[in-house]
Amino acid sequence: MIFKLALAILLATTFATTAAADAFSLALHANGGSDTTLYRGEPLLVQALLILEQDEAATVALAGGQPWTRALSLTLLDGAGQAVPLEWATLGGAPASSLAFTPEATEISAVMGLAPPVLDALPPGDYRLEALFSTEESAAPGAWKGEVRAPRVALKLSAEQRPNSPPEQVYRHRLLARWHQLNDRHEAALTELDAALEQMPGDVQALSDKAEVLVEMNRGDEATAVLQQAVSLYRQQHPDATHPPRWLLRRVQELDTYSVAAAGTTNDAAPTAIAAPPAAVPPAATPPAATPPATAAAPLAQEQPAAGPRHWVGDAALPAAADGQWAVAARAGSQYGEADYSALRATGAPDVPGTDDHPNAWCPALRDSGSDWLELSFEQAAPATEVRVRQSFGPGAIVKVEAIEPDGQIHTWWEGVDPFGQDGFAEDAVWFGVQVPLTSYDVQKIRLTLDLGAHSRWKQIDAVQLLGATPR
């Protein structure tokens, strides 16, 4: 079916491959995010995203025609750092055996999962998820040979079921529906989505999910009606938006292609060409509201910054910092795309040239109404003195900066109106910085709150750097 091509994508001819060992990166999304609380009675769905990082074409293929996911391994570590023995299921259909990457088509994803009873059998607490993709011993002749690890993903397994508020219950039903869908239990998936829509009839994402399931059941007319309803509701709910978010537009395009794809044929002998733009598997669930997630600890008193906010226009103007670390994981209240423009794009060092509307930056789903947030995680928790945010497009919308300790304690470093300007225009990327005296506590995360109504341009963040002392 057309949506299962998110895992297998389209077929094409073989590309020549001369790829360096570090040609790829690997990213993880757990239940639609990169930092997730897991509740009882729900599955864990992990999307692994393999990304080409070089400018030359490359082919990934395993000896003997094995599916490419055979080279992918997931490991769940408990709070003591011990691996939990688990058997992960590869979901959503048979993965391709050969993948052709090009500079224009750079990503493919697979979904692996654990059933609710498996998670229910684990003790509550903090966990870490690791992933390794290695073809060192299994690469086919002429294919890429190497290995790459994903940044660890923090997971918290609750002893309770998900809270009973309507948004949280819609989240739960959508997650269970995705689990059933990926296991080819489409009627069960529809039942869960109907329950979600009974809770919140205007939930656009639940309607979009339902349209996808209906297409996989060959009920295209019903899917069209449901998706038209989703687009209409989105426009009613966001009258100032110029167009629906990218994930909804993609669903419309996929539905438009459905009748053509259903009548077409494929050549199973050809390597899978990575689609451009990438049709990554949609998150199983999106946070129910564009507000920061609740934490067990109450925010601490606001700390006045030693100097800030400060601005530097252009990378050359930014003072060097030897003690900085880039974010390794991120999540957001919304994101314009599931791969491009996602929260994950704000991790790592800057990779957007100058100032530009670019898919390598995080972009909220809405342009100029409401508020949104971006939360960045750093590998090493340590005392900190400064955070620097590279705004690659539409600067001037940050209104709050918070630092979060490993135990969830929140410290407000700055809150106010960004004095950079009112029109969101700059001739180069704009760095936004907030300084504080060296903290007496370790900082694990930084949360940024944006006023999307600050100006009419899209807001995009390319990278976030945390400065401070050596980890203790």
Query: Per-residue pLDDT tens for 23-51?
Result: 888 888 888 764 588 999 999 999 888 88
CB 247 within 8 A of CB 337: yes
207 has a pLDDT exceeding 80: yes
Band of residue 66 on the pLDDT scale cut at 50, 70, 90: very high
The pair of three-digit structure tokens given for residue 370, joined into one six-digit string: 């409401």
pLDDT at 257: 57
283 has a pLDDT exceeding 50: no
275 has a pLDDT exceeding 50: no
Band of residue 317 on the pLDDT scale cut at 50, 70, 90: confident
- Distance spanning both ends of the chain, measured CA to CA: 51
Mean residue pLDDT across the chain: 80
375 has a pLDDT exceeding 80: yes
Q: Give the residue-averaged pLDDT of 84-113.
A: 84
> In degrees to the nearest 10, what's the CA dihedral of 249, 255, 261, 267?
50
321 has a pLDDT exceeding 90: no
The pair of three-digit structure tokens given for residue 339, joined into one six-digit string: 């791969």
412 has a pLDDT exceeding 60: yes
Dist. CA 260–CA 10, nearest whole Å: 13
416 has a pLDDT exceeding 80: yes
255, amino acid identity? L
400-435 CB burial, b ≥16 within 10 A, e <16: bbbbbbeeebbbbbbeeebebeeebebeebbbbbbb
CB 211 within 8 A of CB 225: no
pLDDT at 241: 63
pLDDT at 423: 66
pLDDT at 242: 56
250 has a pLDDT exceeding 90: no
pLDDT at 246: 62
Q: Give the residue-averaged pLDDT of 433-462.
A: 91
Band of residue 253 on the pLDDT scale cut at 50, 70, 90: low
Higher pLDDT, 406 or 289: 406
Dist. CA 328–CA 246, nearest whole Å: 24
Phi, psi (rounded to 5 degrees) for 84: -90, 125
Question: Which domains occur in the chain, in start order?
Answer: 5-273 (2.60.40.3880), 307-468 (2.60.120.260)
Sign for the CA dihedral angle at 166, 169, 175, 181 comes to negative
Q: For helices 204-216 and 186-199, what crossing angle results, to 10°? A: 160
DSSP 8-class letter at 80: T
Higher pLDDT, 463 or 242: 463
Q: How far is CA 39 from CA 42, 88, 107, 282, in A?
A: 6, 18, 30, 20
Higher pLDDT, 426 or 360: 360
Band of residue 294 on the pLDDT scale cut at 50, 70, 90: very low
204 has a pLDDT exceeding 70: yes
Higher pLDDT, 394 or 102: 394
